[in-house]
Structure 1
Amino acid sequence: MTDPSSPAPISWRDWLLTAEPHSRRQASLGRAYVTWRRFSENRLAVTGLLIILALVLVAIFADLLAPHSATTGNLAGARLLPPGSPDFLLGTDDQGRDILSRLLVGSRITLAVVALVAIIAAPVGLLIGTVSGFAGGYVDAVLMRITDIFLAFPKLILALAFVAALGPGIENAVIAIALTSWPPYARLARAETLGVRNSDYIAAVRLMGASPARIVIRHIMPMCLSSLIVRVTLDMAGIILTAAGLGFLGLGAQPPLPEWGTMIASGRRFILDQWWVATMPGIAILIVSLGFNLLGDGLRDALDPRESGR
């Protein structure tokens, strides 16, 4: 028999959604659960998440999924074969290489470029923006004028200039794209910082003797992360297109690497007759870019504090 005086056990859902959390961990888990619930209600956002998860899985298991070599072809008997055959589902290119295998292996390059640019550009923009907004005065003016100089040039043109100076190659392309991607993040972080730097919360931290560096790193940067994550996710499609553009112009990944932009460049000579050589990597870029855009839109709605009351 159960003791009627003992409290009834509560479910995990009630524990997460309680209005009076008993620990910081419970509050964090409850906030994450509410965010996930709002995100999962958006079918398009879930579709975008599934596309990105599929990209990650394909990149991890590309060697197992690829039916043929991505760099070695058969010029004698498999050159420019159309899609639909059992051996070459998406056809072959002018070197007799399986396009499906090249797309699968090339997903690693696309994912690596996106991840590296985000790892480099987002922290740089976050640091510059929060320092600029918190310090104000001369520091703010100098940092924002540098940011304005980068924003004055189209991203692809500026990336072309950096790659031309550094030399062609996938590593230099990543550096060039990262150097052109941080200014919007700095602007966003500065705007967020200006909204909270004079708040009572920050004033209380100052009265406790916290240094400016500690205030920026421990208290202001975390408050900018949600907006930054959304912006980075939405920018992924642009990063993919910029990397593909550099590859198309011969300044990104070099042959025989199966980078999608490079594949489009090599197939543009056959676009009228052997359309699949350039079309298949173009469709791959379209699907992945759409996935990142849908995911970013869903994260923006789920992380918006104005939606918390729904």
Structure 2
Amino acid sequence: MSDVQYQSRRDWLLTDAPQTRRQARLGAIYQGWLTFRANKLAMFGLVILILLIVMAIFAPLLAPYSPFSQDLTNRLQPPGAANWLGTDHLGRDIMSRLIHGSRITLFIVGTVALIAPIIGLFVGTVAGFAGGWVDQVLMRITDIFLAFPKLILALAFVAALGAGIGNAVLALAITAWPPYARLARAETLTIRNADFIAAARLQGAGPMRLLIGHIWPLCISSLIVRVALDMAGIILSAAGLGFLGLGAQPPMPEWGAMISDGRTYILDFWWVAAMPGLAIFIVSLAFNLLGDGLRDVLDPKGAKE
């Protein structure tokens, strides 16, 4: 390890005088985990999301029935021993459909969280680093996207591309990147004239190397916090597209489409729409709590403000 003796691995991680870069990096990660763990609400959100991931992975094993099997003799049954969350208008088990629908939710969240921040990071850092007419053109394009409500713009893209979960995810990703571009540009403007950037440029680093190796790593922490906080909005937008019939198509057990199916019966058979609505609420709340915890760890200055 080193010539310095530590009583435990914890002391090695929390030392104020790390001996190697690896020790400093692992110590920062461990201190961040301690800060995150101290936030009980953030831990609650993390537990919910872990349960969601486990539920999605083992959906065929956890679901008591097939999400597609219909039993018209058992339609619109209230929650009970046979069907814990009741059945819908086609006699399908709501609990089974919610469990399998978690896969669709994670697919949407994961895909949008992978595509949108990358586009925003590239556009924002290029605009902030290059400046001049490049900055003006890219930011005006960003402003055009920001001028429209996100869901309305997503509806327009889905209407042009056609209904379906793939097109819905693509539309959400296309409409979600502008805030990340704005954030990345602001971060880039604060560091593009820093001394370490000038030193790297004197050593022969080109623009792409400066962006990828020096600027992007400093922007990622802020983007991670923003992504975590935006996941709830992405879930709600995806559910909105499904509710309007533009997302996942029947008989896929998408939560927004399930609410749409149950809106006709909401006064007499409330559980048909209430159960998927409750699932959306719980997962959205979990992402918001997780985002607050990550903000405390990755952006303590912003958390205090």
Q: Is TM (by shorter chain) over 0.5? A: yes
**Corresponding residue of 2:246:** 251
**Corresponding residue of 2:127:** 132
1:73 aligned to which of 44, 50, 70: 70
State yes or no: 1:20 paired with 2:17.
Answer: yes
After superposition, the Cα gap between the structure-2 partners of 1:10 and 1:269, relative to the gap in structure 1 and judged at 3 Å, is same
State how far apart, in whole Å, the 2-side matches of 1:305 and 1:289 are: 23
State how far apart, in whole Å, the 1-side matches of 2:57 and 2:21 are: 35
Q: Judge conservation of contact 2:86–2:271 (CA < 8 Å) in 1.
A: yes
State how far apart, in whole Å, the 2-side matches of 1:251 and 1:307 are: 37
Give matches, 1:151-162, under 5 Å: 151-162=146-157
CA displacement at 1:305 relative to structure 2: 4.6
Aligned-residue Cα RMSD (Å) equals 1.3
The letter for the 1-side match of 2:76 is L
**Corresponding residue of 2:173:** 178
The letter for the 2-side match of 1:248 is F
SS at match of 2:125: helix
SS at match of 1:168: coil
State yes or no: 1:117 paired with 2:112.
Answer: yes
CA displacement at 1:306 relative to structure 2: 3.5
CA displacement at 1:11 relative to structure 2: 1.4
Aligned pair count?
301
1:302 aligned to which of 283, 291, 297: 297
Question: What TM-score, normalized to structure 1?
Answer: 0.95
State how far apart, in whole Å, the 2-side matches of 1:179 and 1:307 are: 27
CA displacement at 1:23 relative to structure 2: 1.8
State yes or no: 1:88 paired with 2:83.
Answer: yes
State yes or no: 1:53 paired with 2:50.
Answer: yes
State how far apart, in whole Å, the 2-side matches of 1:100 and 1:127 are: 41
CA displacement at 1:16 relative to structure 2: 1.0
After superposition, the Cα gap between the structure-2 partners of 1:203 and 1:104, relative to the gap in structure 1 and judged at 3 Å, is same
CA displacement at 1:20 relative to structure 2: 2.2
The letter for the 2-side match of 1:190 is R
After superposition, the Cα gap between the structure-2 partners of 1:48 and 1:121, relative to the gap in structure 1 and judged at 3 Å, is same
CA displacement at 1:7 relative to structure 2: 6.6
State how far apart, in whole Å, the 2-side matches of 1:7 and 1:220 are: 34
**Corresponding residue of 1:211:** 206
The letter for the 2-side match of 1:159 is A
The letter for the 1-side match of 2:78 is P
After superposition, the Cα gap between the structure-2 partners of 1:7 and 1:103, relative to the gap in structure 1 and judged at 3 Å, is closer
State how far apart, in whole Å, the 1-side matches of 2:246 and 2:133 are: 38
The letter for the 1-side match of 2:255 is W
Which range is displaced more, 18-27 or 254-263?
18-27
Name the % identity.
67
After superposition, the Cα gap between the structure-2 partners of 1:212 and 1:8, relative to the gap in structure 1 and judged at 3 Å, is closer
The letter for the 1-side match of 2:198 is A
Question: What TM-score, normalized to structure 2?
Answer: 0.97
Q: Which residues of structure 2 form unaligned runs of 5+?
A: none
State how far apart, in whole Å, the 1-side matches of 2:104 and 2:284 are: 14
State how far apart, in whole Å, the 2-side matches of 1:304 and 1:286 are: 26
State how far apart, in whole Å, the 2-side matches of 1:86 and 1:135 are: 63
State how far apart, in whole Å, the 1-side matches of 2:69 and 2:218 are: 49
Q: Which residues of structure 1 form unaligned runs of 5+?
A: 1-5
**Corresponding residue of 1:3:** none
Give matches, 1:259-278, under 5 Å: 259-278=254-273
State how far apart, in whole Å, the 1-side matches of 2:230 and 2:280 are: 14
CA displacement at 1:10 relative to structure 2: 2.9
After superposition, the Cα gap between the structure-2 partners of 1:148 and 1:206, relative to the gap in structure 1 and judged at 3 Å, is same
